[in-house]
Structures are given as structure tokens and as C-alpha cells.
Amino acid sequence: MSSNPVCIHDFEKHAKDILPKAVYDYYSSGADEQQTLKDNVAAFSRWQLCPRVLRDVSHMDLSVTILGQRISMPICVSATAMQRMAHPEGEVATVKACRSQGTGMMLSTWATSSIEQVADAAPSAVRWLQLYIYKDRMLTKSLVRRAEKAGYQGIFLTVDTPYLGKRLADVRNKFKLPPHLRMANFKSLDLAFSRKDYGEDSGLAVYTANAIDPTIKWQDIDWLRQLTKLPIVLKGILRADDAREAVKHGIVGILVSNHGARQLDCVPATGEEGVHKVLEILKEEFRLALALAGCRNVSEVDHSLVKRSPWATSRI
């Protein structure tokens, strides 16, 4: 990197400078007109912090417990597919960085490093598997079994992708994996996203339509729970009634997510050295924000610390 990055925006700019256009567009773009992508960023500016003072924040504890695992901070790496498009080490570098920072990593089913490769690279890291339910249920079952055997500590089931969102940049780029890469968890060319020709559409949209089961419903959650004793989290919940239904089906947690604005548009907002540095920046930003808000640990954070903007108005 030509200059020392000091914030996440610096990393984003560097990525745009060095990645092939189709790869950068895949990582950075949202669905359709990208209204939700814009709102994901703008949503944070609609809230203001109301810090407490005189609280002795000389000693800080950022750690939290997730699915029974203690991690160093409430910041983890969510599933990002096909990371070797950005760096030859891909997901292996990411899990090593997560281990060094003491936080968790969710591995995408569509990773370019296999479940086993990532586990072998960092056996002591907190690892979860992000899962899609495939039309081939035996294939889905085998992914769960492999995660169990490799020591993953939970399953994050993506529930907002019966079909892939219309990502216009990917359509324009006719997005597909570079020829030297494949989705490493699969053997066949079709399932490994390794076909040469996907027509005029986004290759990933064609892949999803062919492979992922659009009939998935709540009864399938019960089927998945019967397959494994690992805790199951539903990724992609946005409605309170869906959250209540998840509890009825024995789900231990939900991940409130609009899929990075990459599925349905206009819904509400919610390299190893490089990854290490990004996590380090996020951790320090969180530590400083916590301290300046007058909190010594995460348990002291409550609703009184945030107000929707504008939170005070003049009556003069």
C-alpha cells in the first residue's frame, strides 16, 4: 500500500485503485438503483450520541460473548464470498487476522477457500459457517457435517436469497469468477461457479437460480435444526414478526441484515495485513467511542446514549 491507511475509507479507495473493475463492482455495488446502499450509510447520520461524563474510563473491556464464545469486541467479519478475487490468500488471510484480533469470522458457503482450509489455517479462531439451502438437500447436509467436523461453532443460514438481487453492475460486467478460481466447497464445475459461459446476465444470478432452493420455508428451519446440534442464526431478518417466528422454531439468534443492500432495493438500512489493520482501526474507533460516551464496557451501553436527530429543538 503506497500510503498508511488511517480509516476505512482509505482502504475502500485503495481497493478501487488496485482491483479489476468487475471485482470491485461485485464487492461494492448494491441492488437495482442502490437506494438501500445509500441509505445504509445515511442511516447512521440520523442518530446522535449523548455521552456521559466523569465515569473513569481508564480501564476498558470491549469483549462480548456470542453463541457461547468470548470475543474481544462486538465487531466480527461477516460472510463475504470469493475473497481470493482480491488476494491470493483470500479467506485464509481473513481468518488469521480475525484470530490475531480475537474476534469471529463467518465463512461464506461461496468461499474460494474451503471449510477445511480455513479451519486448518486458524484452528483456534472463532469460526461460523454461512449457509444457503441448496436444491440438493444432501449437498446442504454435507456442508453442515463438514462444518461440524472442522470445528465451526455455529451456522448462519441466509434466508433472504431465494433468488439473487438484480445487481446492475454485475449484469453489465457479465460477472463470473476469474478462470483460475472456483468456489472451493464444491467439486462439480456447475456448483463451483466455474462454467465458462453464463450468457448475458450476471453469472452469479444464473448460478443462484440453478442451485439455490427458492421454496425454502419455515418447515425447512426445523429440518436444518434436526441435522445439527450447532446453534443456528438466521441471517437476513428485517421484520419483527419474522423474528418472533424464528424463536418459535428454536433459532438462537437473528442477524438483522439487508444483505449489504444487495438483494431487495428500498428496504430499511440496518489481504491478512490489510484485514488485520481494518479490524484494528474498527476496534480502536469503538474503544474511543465507548470511552468518550462514558462507558467502561459494552454492558453499560443503553438506549439513553443515542437520540434520533434532531434530538433537541429550540423553543425560542
β-sheet bridge partners, residue 6:
none
What are the structural domains, with CATH classification, of the chain? 8-46+64-299 (3.20.20.70)
Q: Which amino acid is at 92?
A: V
Out of 87, 180, 259, 276, the active site residue is 259
Distance (Å, rounded) from C-alpha 8 to C-alpha 13? 9
294 neighbors 31 (Cβ within 8 angstroms): no
Query: Can you read off the three cell numbers belonging to residue 245?
Result: 417466528
Within 10 A of 146 (CB to CB), how many other CB atoms are there?
A: 16
Is this model's pTM higher than 0.85 or not? yes
β-sheet bridge partners, residue 253:
233
- Residue 22: the pLDDT is 93
- Residue 39: the pLDDT is 86
| DSSP code string of 22-57 | HHHHHHH--STT-HHHHHHHHHHHTEEE----S---
Residue numbers of the chain with a pLDDT score lower than 50: 270, 311-316
Q: How many Cα atoms sit within 13 Å of 112 on the Cβ side?
A: 22
Catalytic residue status for 259: yes
* Closest CA relative to residue 79, chosen from 13, 154, 9: 154
Instruction: Give the tens place of pLDDT for each residue, 8-30.
Output: 999 999 999 999 999 999 888 88
- Residue 257: the pLDDT is 81
Distance (Å, rounded) from C-alpha 27 to C-alpha 109? 16
